[in-house]
Amino acid sequence: MSVLHLDRRPDGSVSLFIDGDLQFDSRDERIYHECLVLPALAVAGDDGRSDLQVLICGGGDGLAAREVCKSPAVGRVDLVDYDGQVVALARDAWPDLHDDVFGDARLTVHQADAWAFVAAAVAAGRHYDLIVVDLTVPQDVTAAAFHSLEWYEQLAALLGPTGALAVNGLSPSATPAAFWTPYNAMRTVGLHPKPYRIALPSFRDQGYGPDWGFFLATATPLTADRLAGLALASPRQALQDTEHLRRLFALPADGAALRGTVAPYHRGDDSLLRRLGEQDDALPTEATWDALAAAVDPAPLPAPTASGLLPEPVRAAMATTAVDGDALLERVLTVMPALQPQHTRAMIDTLLQDPGRYLAAIDLGGLVERLLARAAELPAAIVTELRHLKAHLRELLSDTGALLRLGMRVVTVVVVVVIVANLVFPDSAYGKGGGAHVGGSGSFYRSSQVTAGTLDPPVVARGRGYRQNPIGHHRTLDESGAVFPARRFRFRTHSYWGHHYYHHHHHHADGPVGNDQTPAPESIYRLSPETDVLDDGRIALTLTRRTALIVDDEVVSVVDTASGNQVMALQRSDNLVFRLSQELERQRQGLARTIDAKLAWNAWVSWIAFTPWYAGDQSELQNLRRMQAKLTDARNLLGFRTGGLVEPPPPPLSGAHELFTSVWLMPDGTGIIARLPDGTDALLTASSWGRFGGSLGTVDSPYPEGFRRAVTDVLATMVKDADATYRSLFQERTEAKQALASLQRDLTEYNRIAATDGSSQTVDYGSSEIPCHEALRRTESDIAGIRQQVQELDQRLDTWPRDVYNARQVLLDFGRKAGSP
């Protein structure tokens, strides 16, 4: 049973969803169904045969059957769908759409599993002239069987030498490795599949990929000449003629190259699901491969995957001897593919962080013993490693990180096996670490952060943000096309914004916002989680709920976003400008790539000419271009810097902690140092504001009360966050110590038993009974692990950053000044 949902729109159009997946949208379903069915139908009836025997697998909506029944040559149609609800709904809910096909005497509906039906038909020696496989994208191993070698073997047997097979595929652009997998399965069983593709706005809207592919397979290869002579059944609304059809056989060349490498698989294998997880982030190129260029595809045909434990890339990485030591594990983790269709790269990366935790529950000593007992089945080098491991287990057990760093192959394999078992289980997604977002280049708060020598490559925006019309309007977009509510940055734009910022900035430092305030600028683009590009091209960094930094063309303003006041003007460090520029440029290039990809796609869509132009494409392109221009403006306003890395600015005093750009905490917690636009440093304490460094002097401005409040706000957040982390670690340590004490009690007890009754005595260990020596060994091993954990936590808690104490000290001082407790 599935959940069906029929979405009826005011314009009379309908969409059917099964289990949340779009099946068809009446606005463009004719493109899909005419293209799926009519070419193969024409091939099947090509030699003038009549009384064609047709099998439709799936297609309970009746729409593929409608296409089949257009041909008077069709004698009988068997439609097999396991879901009776769909057929029942189709009869009642959209008779106009399928032209009452269920009333066609040639059609027989079988409510059955397609696999069982096909197997029975093969066993009965039946033949079909045309088979249409209209099944949905597989989500599990059972459904993936409908692209396995066994499935196509059976279909080939049913087809006979002159039949034609039409198969609903996947997106050749979005998931090329998955798309070419059934292609090779069909080739392996002796069919000659010809892939072709269409553009389907409704599928694209659902995120199924920019294009959608099918296969037309025959026992004797289909040639371009034969295609040109086909008589397509009518009437048709989407597919114009064979010349039009011919265009569809151009596929992205990069993806097509994969057909030489993606192995077909046997029933029960999950290779296809894994490949569905490999979303292609490469750019769509205009280079295409003509599927009809050669009658027989000369591309090499990979052998079927041996269904096994290790994913193919992992097996290959492990088999090479080029990488060894701890680099091997790193390499293997890098190539670990998605083992579930829903696993994104970001999620896999998160799941693979800290690989030592995959060893935590293992009784390594017990495992080593068992593996040594099977030494004959293992390579000699591995046995040597195991012996070494056994000899040094006691010291190695306490630190899984160190154990991994030793780089033993056997440890690497154990970790990988445990990881694979975990990734195979679908709900491991709960160990989630975000699905949608791309890396970005971190925080821009501080200038002392080491500038990354290399940046992430620019990305193509896949999110739908740019398709929503138009940009701005209280929405912020990022490089991936994700949408966020806009942040509003209320602040005065002073008439002196420019050259006189410093000498006069204090004139407006406090007090109510006057009439010179322009409407609060909004964020339009999110450069990083806390960094926004505003619609006027300036850059805003959100420090706390009420404090932000506005990076202008000459200064960095500290702004109290509650009052809208600029409370201090700071020096713009070259390092900050450089890093912001670099990131802006990277993301601008990403948008440029997205625009290129968009143009290529639009060109292809108009070339294949189903829909004159997808309605949203124009505005999407316009949005992308506008945003690109906004980033260019921001970069220009910032003053674009090129060249090598820019060193972080030197701190005013050794040991000073950078709170945010151009502001430091004194190393003794006595105050705050701000680097002013003219490059001089000023010291802020609870009661004074004066020049800092070299000779003490006065600053030509009164005590900056607003700045003190802003700094207090930032310090309070810093202390609060640090306290939270401390409490969390403290709790962890308390629990670890409790566990350690409990284990030590057990150890004492086991030692006592061993001393009095001998170490072979059976003892309780958790819920099982094991020999005392075994209980001792395992308890010692657990103690070693937990002791290590406690030591690490001790270390972290005992060396709590000095800055936090200093920040607390300054807060106390400032608080006293403000008269708060």
Partner 1 sequence: MKPLTVRRLPDPGTSHPWAAAWEHLVRHCPESGFMQSLAWATVKAAQGLQVVHLGLFDGETLVGGTLAYTLPQPNGATLLVSPEGPVLPWSRPPAVVAGLRALLPALAAEAGACGAISWRIEPRLTPPRPDALRGFGRAPIDLVPQTTLYLDLSPDDDALLAAMHPKGRYNIRLAGRKGVTVHATTDPAATTRFYPLVCEAAQRDDFYVEPPGYFALIAEHLMPAGLARFLFAEHEGQLLATMLLVTYGDRATYFYGGTANDKRPLMAGYALQWAAIRQARALGCRSYDFFGFEPHGDPDHLYANFSRFKRQFGGEPARFIGAQDHMFTDRLADAVVRAFQEIGSSR
Residue pair 419/358 in contact (Cβ under 8 Å)? The answer is yes
Applying the rule CB under 8 A, the residues between 618 and 647 that interact with partner 1 are none
**Residue 169 beta carbon to partner 1: minimum distance, rounded to whole angstroms:** 19
Examine residue 774 and tell whether it contacts partner 1 (CB under 8 A). no
As a whole number of angstroms, the longest Cα–Cα distance in the chain is 103
234 counts as binding partner 1 under rule CB under 8 A: no
H or E stretch including 334?
helix 326-335
Residues 687-726 that bind partner 1 (CB under 8 A): 720-721, 723-725
Q: Residue 432 or 507: which CB sits closer to partner 1?
A: 432
CB of 769 to partner 1, least distance (A): 8
Of the candidate residues 96, 243, 427, 700, the single one contacting partner 1 (CB under 8 A): 427
In this complex, which beta carbon is closest to partner 1, that of residue 20 or of residue 235?
20
Question: Could you say whether residue 360 binds partner 1 (CB under 8 A)?
Answer: yes
- Tell me the closest approach of the beta carbon of residue 351 to partner 1, in angstroms: 7
For partner 1, the closer of residues 416 and 597 by Cβ is: 416
- Of 315, 390, 405, 641, the one binding partner 1 (CB under 8 A) is 315
Separation CA 83–CA 63 (nearest Å)? 15
Q: Please select the residue that binds partner 1; options are 88, 112, 393, 429, rule is CB under 8 A.
A: 429
CB of 435 to partner 1, least distance (A): 4
Tell whether residue 469 is a contact of partner 1 (CB under 8 A): no
Task: Measure the N-to-C terminal CA separation of the chain; round to a whole number of Å.
Answer: 64
Does 562 help bind partner 1 (rule: CB under 8 A)?
Answer: no
* Selected catalytic residue, list 28, 134, 297, 399: 134
Interface with partner 1 by CB under 8 A: which range of 85-93, 372-380, 443-451, 551-559?
A: 372-380
User: CA 447, CA 802: separation in Å to the nearest integer?
Assistant: 20
Within residues 133-172, the interface with partner 1 by CB under 8 A covers 139-142
One-character DSSP codes across 772-815? HHHHHHHHHHHHHHHHHHHHHHHHHHHT--HHHHHHHHHHHHHH
Contact between 752 and partner 1 by CB under 8 A: the answer reads no
742 touching partner 1, by CB under 8 A: yes
Minimal distance, residue 152 CB to partner 1, in Å = 21
Residues 16-45 that bind partner 1 (CB under 8 A): 17-21
Of 199, 200, 172, 209, the C-alpha closest to 289 is 172
The minimum distance between CB 658 and partner 1, in angstroms, equals 18
User: Is residue 471 a contact residue for partner 1 (CB under 8 A)?
Assistant: no
Cα dihedral 339, 345, 350, 354 sign: positive
**Distance of alpha carbon 700 from alpha carbon 687, whole angstroms:** 16
| CA 631 – CA 523 distance, rounded (Å) | 12
- Is 335 a binding residue for partner 1 by CB under 8 A? The answer is no
Q: Count the site residues for partner 1 by CB under 8 A.
A: 92
What is residue 488's DSSP assignment?
A: B
Q: Contact between 387 and partner 1 (CB under 8 A)?
A: no
Please select the residue that binds partner 1; options are 116, 287, 421, 629, rule is CB under 8 A: 421
| Residues from 649 through 688 that contact partner 1 (CB under 8 A) | none
- Indicate whether 318 belongs to the interface with partner 1 (CB under 8 A): yes
Q: Which is nearer to partner 1, 131 or 459 (CB)?
A: 459
Residue 357 vs residues 396, 453, 697: alpha-carbon distances, Å? 15, 30, 56
Question: What is the torsion angle, in degrees rounded to the nearest 10, for the CA atoms of residue 799, residue 801, residue 806 and residue 808?
Answer: -100
Strand ranges of the sheet holding 565-571, from the earlier edge strand across to the other edge: 483-485, 475-478, 523-528, 531-534, 539-542, 547-551, 555-560, 565-571
The CA distance from 373 to 88, in Å, is: 61
Query: Which residues pair with residue 558 across a beta bridge?
Result: 549, 568
Question: CB of residue 714 vs partner 1: minimum separation in angstroms?
Answer: 13
Residue type, 716: A
760 is written with which tokens?
A: 């072979």
The angle subtended at Cα 137 by Cα 133 and Cα 140, nearest 5°, is 115
Q: Is 134 noted as a catalytic residue in this protein?
A: yes
Does 93 bind partner 1 (CB under 8 A)? Our answer is no
How far apart, in whole angstroms, are the C-alpha atoms of residue 681 and residue 675? Answer: 4
Q: How far is the CB of 266 from partner 1 (least distance, A)?
A: 11
Residue 379 within binding range of partner 1, rule CB under 8 A: yes
Nearest C-alpha neighbor of 81 from the set 134, 152, 153, 156: 134
- According to the binding rule CB under 8 A, does residue 498 interact with partner 1? no
Which residue from 229, 325, 401, 485 is in contact with partner 1, where contact means CB under 8 A?
485
Active-site residue set:
134
